[in-house]
Chains A and B, each alone.
Chain A
């Protein structure tokens, strides 16, 4: 290890034993030889969660509440993934207003998760602060507004989901309870304030210094004919992928790697890919509302944007989208005739892909004629991005290798956070080790 005052060694290891400002427990190991990267490993050692096994033998109606427990930041993603797969298995068509309410619930999750990551976790990297507390001291206005924006996202989740973390209202066929229009209208004033702030504060984020680093990515995201994707769509990429959720296993494979409790997802025959805000923005830019497109253009984000550090701007654009979408849904909402539709149970298998804040999340549920779950597969976004994060680091490190080890470490952590990894969700995550030999 070298410190800034010592002569720099061209070989060695950098270790970050526990990486802060990421969700869950993980570590980073980098091995250098004569300033050449020999090895990069993103180690996820948070213990396996075993949710897929835990669901076996349970009735499918329990799945939305159990899967909401996978994550405290993005519970809606897992909840939506389960109900959509189960409903598809049973051939259930939900009421259009229920569909809108689910989009609103998901928009709430995007707002709280994205604002958390933009301001509390990632912005300190760009501004050279140790954490959000230091940022708050120098930028109290931005910090106060960020706290209020995040709270609004949580309020939306609480209003629709019964509580802001691990919501309990989503049911197969719809919701256990749907709100009156007046309940949703209590959000109107705050949404108006929030949209104005989200648009104005994008400039603050755009003023950050961005490393000059671009990669050739395969971006993977959902695509819907006439809306920015949240709950449904075909899975597409900039390299010709265009599949239904049921074909996911034919095109993607999860590989076990020795250094990680999270499986690495790759596209068969092609390798790593990127999912998340930058992928969605690049593949669905025209589906954004004009206010979000204007913010992107004002921030200098032009698609295709190939700089992963600009994912923070993609998140900021998506916050604008989510707030605008929430306003639109509330303005047009009429309570559905019933909170959920009736259905018959039969043995079936169903598939779904939804867009969690940090990327696509795949689900396959099989259950028997009594509705008891026989098999489940859940592929979270972080395990899909994990190999791509390692590839980014391998290509990014040469540009910073002449710097002191503290700076290499700081920059590598920033690069990992481009993907807002949610390690708790992915286990089945950071500590940095830099080894020079």
Chain B
């Protein structure tokens, strides 16, 4: 299982995915911190059977709410934020991967609802709690996976 945490550690709740990856590594589990560039993600998961992607999301839900998508079978409901520029993010990478037959057999996306992205700020308490929950869940499934 390849776990990829996306985000920016210095932009408030955008750190959510990065924090999950860091905590998992502290527990001795392989995980990758990633800025979230879609083209690089396509390369990163190339050849992997089972990928987990963690990123901050904005859906209007309460901060810290965790949404889970099995992206190999359902498109991510991404609203065109318009501010995507040269940057192709994880959602675009998944849809380009789907169009080109380059998606891992299994790709689960955890989205942690963010509250703020202030430069230089730390993640909100609600987001940190969600990070704890996802780390626990992924650690358990990684251990179960390894035990097999």
Contacts and interface: CB of A to CB of B under 8 A. Distances in A.
A25 B87 CA distance: 12
B42 interface: yes
Contacts, number: 55
Interface in B41-57: 42-43
- Of the listed residues B42, B82, B101, the one surrounded by the most CB atoms of chain A closer than 10 A to its CB is B82
A150 interface: yes
A22 B85 contact: yes
A249 B81 CA distance: 39
A23 B80 contact: no
Contacts of B85: 20-25, 423-424
A150 B99 contact: no
B95 A20 contact: no
Nearest to A423: B85
A230 B100 CA distance: 34
Given A143-B99, A144-B100, A147-B39, A133 B92 contact: yes
Contact of B80 (A20, A147, A422): A20
Interface residues of B, number: 17
A51 interface: no
Contacts of A133: 92, 95-96, 99
A121 B39 CA distance: 14
B117 interface: no
B43 A151 contact: yes
Contacts of B88: 120, 132
Interface in A110-169: 116, 120-121, 130-133, 136-137, 140, 143-144, 147, 150-151
A17 interface: yes
Interface string B71-97: 000000000111111101000100110
A252 interface: no
A287 B83 CA distance: 38
Nearest to A113: B86
Interface residues of A, number: 29
Nearest to A133: B95
Nearest to A25: B83
Contacts of A72: 86
A295 interface: no
A143 B96 contact: yes
Contacts of B39: 147, 150-151
Interface in A4-26: 17-25
A171 interface: no
Contact of A136 (B80, B86, B99): B99
Contacts of A132: 88, 92, 96
A73 interface: yes
Contacts of A130: 80
A20 B84 contact: yes
Given A18-B81, A25-B85, A144-B100, 9 more contacts: A18-B82, A23-B85, A133-B92, A136-B99, A140-B99, A143-B100, A147-B42, A150-B39, A151-B39
29 contacts: A18-B82, A18-B83, A20-B80, A20-B82, A20-B84, A21-B84, A21-B86, A22-B86, A23-B86, A25-B83, A72-B86, A73-B86, A116-B86, A120-B88, A121-B86, A130-B80, A131-B92, A132-B88, A133-B92, A133-B96, A133-B99, A136-B99, A136-B100, A140-B100, A143-B99, A147-B100, A151-B39, A151-B43, A422-B86
10 closest A-B pairs (Cβ-Cβ)? A18-B82, A136-B99, A23-B86, A133-B95, A137-B99, A23-B85, A20-B82, A18-B83, A136-B96, A140-B100
